[in-house]
Amino acid sequence: MTVSARPDGRRNASPYLYGPEAEAIARVLEGGQYGHTDITEEFERRIADFLSVPDAVAVASGTAALHTALLAAGIRPGREVIVPSMTFCATVQAILAAGATPRFVDIDPTTLCVSDQLVMDALTDKTAAVMPVLFGGRPIDLSAIQEELDERGIVVIEDAAHAFGSRHDTRRVGANEAVLTCFSFSPVGGACPAARHGACAPGTAPRQHDSQHSGFRTG
């Protein structure tokens, strides 16, 4: 009988460092300012350029990105947000922090994500947003129901904590102007081994919940 070697837990999901990470961290520390600086704005510009979108907004965490997106979309108490029941607690915490009520839906067992039909089946007259979770970095295509969601004033806010760099066909996750996309840069999110931050890639379509809002702005 062959016995597998015991795995080294210290190397579980160990991040891969490309080389310049330590220098980049030192640059921030040596600057003496650890809040919003020109380095933050450079980070935002480079994310926007990577996604080919006009703007991106860096925030403190992926949870903060979700909360910010919900508030910017005008989600308020008394409204519901459709969210998969299989997700990290932060997804639900952001909805509760906005004062809304999570409406849990099942996932497609073949993708571990919601589908357009599961979303449609869960809609009620209180639905204000849909928050698909791109589990494992899998892109979710809701384009077949996007027009109906728009007509009902329902905003799509993607929890793309796992999906920075993922693509749907040739378009990167975060480049769809019809939705708000929220990323995480924590080690679990998979994008940044040295820090825990988040970012929003704003959609540009105006929403019924806040007719004056057409995206995020920096500053």
Q: What is the pLDDT of residues 77-110, one digit of tens each?
A: 999 999 999 999 999 999 999 999 999 999 999 9
* Half-sphere exposure of residue 9: CA atoms within 13 angstroms, side-chain side: 0
84 or 177, higher pLDDT: 84
Return d(Cα 72, Cα 107) in angstroms, integer.
Answer: 27
| pLDDT tens sequence across 127-164 | 999 999 999 999 999 999 999 999 999 999 999 999 99
Residue type, 216: F
**pLDDT of 188:** 62
16 or 88, higher pLDDT: 88
> Has residue 117 got a pLDDT over 50?
yes
Average pLDDT in the 39-60 region? 91
Name the average pLDDT for the chain. Answer: 83
**pLDDT of 218:** 31
Average pLDDT in the 188-198 region? 49
> Has residue 215 got a pLDDT over 70?
no
- How sure is the predictor about 111, in pLDDT bands with cuts at 50, 70 and 90? very high
Which residues contact residue 45 at a Cβ distance below 8 angstroms, ignoring those fewer than 6 apart?
A: 56
Average pLDDT in the 34-57 region? 90
3 or 172, higher pLDDT: 172
Average pLDDT in the 45-61 region? 91
Instruction: Say what percent of the chain tops pLDDT 70.
Output: 79
Question: Phi-psi bin for 9: left (phi > 0), alpha (psi -120 to 50), beta?
Answer: alpha
Angle at 82 between CA 48 and CA 162, to 5 degrees: 40
> Has residue 190 got a pLDDT over 60?
no
> Has residue 124 got a pLDDT over 80?
yes
**pLDDT of 15:** 66
Average pLDDT in the 29-38 region? 88
**pLDDT of 199:** 74
Q: How many CB atoms lie within 10 A of CB 33?
A: 10
End-to-end CA distance of the chain: 63
**pLDDT of 209:** 44
Residues listed for the chain = 219
